[in-house]
Structure 1
């Protein structure tokens, strides 16, 4: 078991995690645990949500806001132009006389 047979990819097998080089477990490894009822899974969640959202919004604002302003301006112009062209003065100005 301990470190003599060959591994085809890496050469020599030195043992599993915690027992490198032999069948005895590695010494000096300390493991800590915290009981499930003592953990605080939502600690700082509201604070982080607010500031992380603000940071992400601020980073993307210049990529999103200017195209929306330009698109709004174009749509506003097109709507006003369409209303003008479909009105009586607009039809007369564009050369379309009243047809009966």
Structure 2
């Protein structure tokens, strides 16, 4: 039941499963045996050296702001503890 030209309704392709289309040509399929595939080949080696390379290139952009933020926060915590202590209150003119 191949396809034929119906002058009234157009082209009839055929019933389901036999659609009268020409067989596809020039389709190349490549495959590899599952036991020859190595999906994680070199992943450990690449991960170690990639992380080191990325860290080395980004550390100067990330570390100084973190160091500055840590130093400021440390100073603020120590200043707060001093001002809320007995000597700090006496120095600032507050009551005991």
Higher Cα Rg, which structure: 2
CA–CA separation in structure 2 for the residues paired with 1:57 and 1:45:
18
Structure 2 residue aligned with 1:74: 72
| Structure 2: tracts of 5 or more residues without a match | 1-24
Q: Deviations over 1:26-80 (max 9, x none)?
A: 6xxx865421221111111100010011111111111111111000100110011
CA–CA separation in structure 1 for the residues paired with 2:31 and 2:57:
38
Decide which of 55, 60, 84 is 1:86's aligned counterpart. 84
| TM-score relative to the length of structure 1 | 0.63
- The CA RMSD measured in Å over matched residues stands at 2.1
Runs ≥4 in structure 1, deviation > 6 angstroms? none
| Structure 1: tracts of 5 or more residues without a match | 1-24
